[in-house]
Structure 1
Amino acid sequence: MSLLPPPSEKPLNLIAFAFLLIAFLTGIASSFQQPTLSLFLSQEIHASPFMVGLFYSANAIIGILLSQLIAAYSDKQEDRRKVIMICCLLSIIGCVIFAYCRNYWILIILGTTLLGLGSASNPQSFALAREYTESAGKESVMFTTIMRTQISLAWIVGPPLSFAIALNWGFSYMYLVAGAAFLLCALATICLLPKISRNLAKTQQSGEIIEAPRTQRKSTAFLFADCLLCWMCNSMYFINMPLYLIHQLHLPEQLAGILMGTAAGLEIPVMLLAGYLTRFLSKKQLMFTALFCGGLFYIGLSVVQQTWMLIALQGLNAIFIGIIATIGMVYFQDLMPRQMGAATTLFSNTAKSSWIIGGPVAGFIAEFWHYNSVFYVSILILLVAAFCLHKVKSV
C-alpha cells in the first residue's frame, strides 16, 4: 500500500505550501554547505588553496554527471516524487560523512558522490512544480519565481547561521543540521507532494519529438554558456570572498555570512519583480539587465574595502543573481517545453559546471596572486557572457 495520499485528497493550498517548504529546505541545506566549504577544507582538512579549488571542481563534475543521469531517468518515470525522496536520503548520508570524516580523498570521492546524487532533489522539485502548475492551469512563471524566492529566503538565514554554528560548535554540528533539513524535505515529499500524471502529456504529444526543436538547440547551447559564465563568476566569488575578507582585508570572519545573507534577502523582491516584469519585458532583456548589474558589482568589489560599502554592493549582486537564478531557469524550460526534468537540471548544471572552471581558477589566482584578483577576471567573463546571450533566441 502506498504511503502517498492521492492528489484529490490534498488541498491546493497545502500542495503549494509543500513545494515552497521543499524549496526552502533544500535552500537551507545548500546554504549551510557551499559558503563554508572553503573554510572547512582550509581549517579542518588543512588543504592548500589549489586543493580547495580542485575539490570544488571534482564536486561539480560528479554532481553534473549524476544529476543529468537522474534527469534523463526521471523524465521517463511516472512518479517524480520517488526520485526526490531517494535524492534526499542519499544527501543525508553524504552530510553524515562530511560531519565525521576528515580525510580529503574520502570526502572528494564518496562524500561528493552522495551529495551529487542528492543535489538532484532541487531541480527535480522545480520540474515537478512546473508540471503541477501546467496540469492545474496555474501561472507557472510566477509560481516558479515564488518557489525560487524560498531558496533566497533560506540563504538569508543559512550563511550567517552556518558560520555561527561552524565557528562556535564545529563543522560536525553544521553538517548534521544540513542533514536534518534533507530529512524534513524527504518527509514533506512523502506526505504532501501530489503525483502528477505524465501519461496525459505523453498522449497529447504523441508523434512529436520530445527533445528541444532543432531551431532552438543553438539557443539552448548559447543560453547554457551564458548561465555557465555568470555562475562561474559567482563561484569564484563564493570561494575567494571569505578568504579575501579574513586574510587580505583582515575583517571579521562572520562578515562573509552577513554579506551572503544580505544578498539573499535582497534577491527576494528582485525575483518577484522580475517574474512580474516578464509580462512587459522579454526574458532576454531581463537577463541583459542582470549582466550589467553583475559587471557593476565586480567593479565595485575590486575597489571598495569598507564593511558598509561591501554590504551596500550586495544590492547589485542581488539583481545579478536574482534574475539569473529565476528567469534563467524559466528560459530553459521555455526552450525545452517537453523535457521539464532535463531542462531544469540543465539549468542547475550550469551552476555546477561553473565550479569545474571557477574552482581551479580561483585557487590558482589565490595561490599566485591575490584573492581579489578574481573580481577583475569576472568582469571580463561577463563580457563574454553578454555575447553568448546575444545569440539566444528571445521566447
Structure 2
Amino acid sequence: MLRPLVLIWRDPALRLAAIALILTGCNAASIAPYQSLLAIRLFGLSDSAYALVLTIASAASVIGAIGIGILADQTMARKKITIAATALGIVGQIIVLLFPSKASFIIAHAVILPVSSATFGQVFALARMASSSYLPEERDGIMAAIRALFALPFIVILPLWSVVFDAGAGLIWIYVELALVNVVLVALILHRWPADGSTMWVDQRSGLSLGKSLREIGHPSVLGRVLLSGAVGSGIAIYMVTLGLTFDEAPGRDIGDVAIFAGLLAGLEVPVMLSMGWLLRYLTRMQAILLGATVHAGFLLAFPVLLPTPAVWFLVVPAAIGAGILLSLPIAYVQDLMGTRAGAGGAMLAVQRVASESIAAALFAVATWVAGYSLAPVLGGITVVLAALALWWLDGRQTARKPGPA
C-alpha cells in the first residue's frame, strides 16, 4: 500500500503533481458539497436554473479541456498553459467574492471556473508522463495514490468548514479559501513544475493539426468509452450535487452534518485508493471497476431510505469502497485510450468528468421534476451499474481473471 507513496515522494515531478492535487483537492472539498447550496439557498437560483448552469458548465469544461489539452500536445508549453488555467480560476473566484449576485455566480460557475478546471487534467498529464519510466504494474498504483492524495484534504477541510459555519460564518467565505489556495498553486507550478522541454521523459509534439486531433478524440471507439466511464462516475457526481440539499431537507440534519458525512467518506476513500495495487493482484482493471460500480450503486439506492435514520452514517463504508475504486482506476483507463498524447489524455479526463456531471445534471433535473431530490441518487445508482456493465461488455469479457498469490 505504501510503495506508490514512496515512489511519488522520491520523484520530484510526481511529488509536484501530488502536492498540486492536494491543493486542488482543498478547493474541491470546499466547493463541491456546498455549490448547490450556494446556488439555490444563497444566490436564489431555482432548481431548473441550477441544472442549466451545470449543463453549460459541462460544455465549457469540455471545450476548455480539449482545447488546452490539444494546445499542450502541440506546443509542449505545459507549464505556461497550466499556470494560465489556474490563474483563470482565481479571476472567477474573485468575481463572485467582490460582486456576489446571481449573475456573478452564473458567469463564474458556468464559464470561468469550468474552463480553469483543465488544471486538473494537465496535472494528471504530468503525473502520467513522469510515471512512464516505472514498471507497468506500478503505474496504476502510482496514479491511484495520486488520486488518493486529491481526496485527502476532504478529511481536514470539511470538518474545518463545519466549525467555521457553526461559528456563524457565511457560505461566501468559501471563495476566499478558493482564491488563496489557487494563488499558492500558481506559485508552486511557477517554481517547481519542470521547465518545458527539460524533462527526463520524452515529450514530443503531437504533430497533429487541430482538426486531426479533434477527429482522433472524437473517434467512436475512444469517445464512446470515455462517455461510458463518465456514466460510471455519474453516481459520485449526483451524490455531490444532492448531498447538501438532501441533508438540508431531512429532519434533524444541518449543513454541519454535510461536512461530517463527506469528510468521513473521503477519509475512508484514501486507504481504498491506496489499496488498488493489492486489488489488481486478484482482479483485472475492468472487473475491479465493475465491482466498484456495483458497491457504489448499492450505497446510492440505500442513501435516501436511510438518510433520516442514524444508520445513514454506516453508509460511508460502502460509499467509500465504491467511490475509491471509481475515482482511481478509470483515470488510467481513460488516459490509456490516447496512447502517448499526455495532453489529450488529460483532456479526456475532463471529458470523462464532464460526462459524469452532465449525466448527473440530467438525472437531477428529472428527479426534481418527478419526485424531488431523493430520487436523484436512485437514478444515479441504476445508471452506474448499466454503464459499468456496458464497459465490461466492451473490454472486460475476454480478459481472464488475474490469479492471486499462493
Query: Over residues 31-59 of structure 1, what are the superposed CA-to-partner deviations in whole Å (9 max), with x where a residue is unaligned?
Result: 21221111111222111222222222222
Q: Equivalents in 2 of 1:217, 1:61: separation in Å?
A: 18
1:225 aligns with 227
Residue 65, structure 1, aligned to residue 63, structure 2: yes
Extract unaligned runs of 5+ from structure 1: 1-10
1:111 positional shift:
4.9
1:268 positional shift:
0.8
Residue 129, structure 1, aligned to residue 127, structure 2: yes
Is the 8 Å Cα contact of residues 247 and 255 (structure 2) preserved in structure 1? Answer: yes
Alignment of 1:58-137 (within 5 A): 58-135=56-133
Query: Over residues 220-264 of structure 1, what are the superposed CA-to-partner deviations in whole Å (9 max), with x where a residue is unaligned?
Result: 334323222223222222222221122134412211111111111
Is the 8 Å Cα contact of residues 165 and 173 (structure 1) preserved in structure 2? Answer: no
1:174 aligns with 174
Q: Indicate which of 264, 268, 271 corresponds to 1:269.
A: 271
1:182 positional shift:
1.0
Is the 8 Å Cα contact of residues 54 and 360 (structure 1) preserved in structure 2? Answer: no
1:119 positional shift:
0.6
Q: 2:378 is matched by which residue type in structure 1?
A: Y
1:86 positional shift:
1.1
1:239 aligns with 241
1:152 aligns with 151
- Count of matched residue positions in the alignment of Structure 1 and Structure 2: 381
Q: Equivalents in 2 of 1:312, 1:231: separation in Å?
A: 22
Q: 1:260 is matched by which residue type in structure 2?
A: A
1:189 positional shift:
0.9
Single out whichever of 110-119 and 38-47 deviates more from structure 2: 110-119
Single out whichever of 158-167 and 293-302 deviates more from structure 2: 158-167
Provide closer, same or farther for how the CA distance between residues 299 and 128 of structure 1 changes in structure 2, counting only shifts above 3 A: same
Query: Over residues 320-366 of structure 1, what are the superposed CA-to-partner deviations in whole Å (9 max), with x where a residue is unaligned?
Result: 22112211010112222222221232123222233333224314423
Extract unaligned runs of 5+ from structure 2: 1-8, 400-406
1:157 positional shift:
2.3
Is the 8 Å Cα contact of residues 222 and 389 (structure 1) preserved in structure 2? Answer: no
1:31 aligns with 29
Q: 1:109 is matched by which residue type in structure 2?
A: I
Is the 8 Å Cα contact of residues 250 and 308 (structure 2) preserved in structure 1? Answer: no
Q: Equivalents in 2 of 1:388, 1:136: separation in Å?
A: 31
TM score, norm. by length of structure 1: 0.86
Q: 1:119 is matched by which residue type in structure 2?
A: S
2:6 aligns with none
Single out whichever of 24-33 and 359-368 deviates more from structure 2: 359-368
Single out whichever of 351-360 and 44-53 deviates more from structure 2: 351-360
Is the 8 Å Cα contact of residues 79 and 196 (structure 2) preserved in structure 1? Answer: no
1:393 counterpart SS class: helix
Alignment of 1:1-395 (within 5 A): 12-135=10-133, 139-162=138-161, 164-165=163-164, 168-195=168-195, 197=197, 200-202=202-204, 219-306=221-308, 308-394=310-396
Is the 8 Å Cα contact of residues 248 and 371 (structure 1) preserved in structure 2? Answer: no
Is the 8 Å Cα contact of residues 49 and 367 (structure 1) preserved in structure 2? Answer: no
Q: Equivalents in 1 of 2:350, 2:76: separation in Å?
A: 22
- Identity between Structure 1 and Structure 2 (%): 20
Is the 8 Å Cα contact of residues 68 and 118 (structure 2) preserved in structure 1? Answer: yes
Q: 1:59 is matched by which residue type in structure 2?
A: A
Provide closer, same or farther for how the CA distance between residues 226 and 162 of structure 1 changes in structure 2, counting only shifts above 3 A: farther
1:70 positional shift:
0.7
Q: Equivalents in 1 of 2:80, 2:392: separation in Å?
A: 39
1:74 positional shift:
0.9
TM score, norm. by length of structure 2: 0.84
Query: Over residues 273-328 of structure 1, what are the superposed CA-to-partner deviations in whole Å (9 max), with x where a residue is unaligned?
Result: 11343344311011011111012112221421355422211111112221122110
Q: Equivalents in 2 of 1:275, 1:180: separation in Å?
A: 35
1:217 positional shift:
5.7
Provide closer, same or farther for how the CA distance between residues 272 and 368 of structure 1 changes in structure 2, counting only shifts above 3 A: same
Q: Where in structure 1 do 4 or more consecutive aligned residues deviate above 6 Å?
A: 210-214
What RMSD over aligned residues (CA atoms) do the two structures have, in Å? 2.9
Q: 2:177 is matched by which residue type in structure 1?
A: V
2:3 aligns with none
1:269 positional shift:
0.9
Q: 2:62 is matched by which residue type in structure 1?
A: I
Is the 8 Å Cα contact of residues 220 and 392 (structure 1) preserved in structure 2? Answer: no
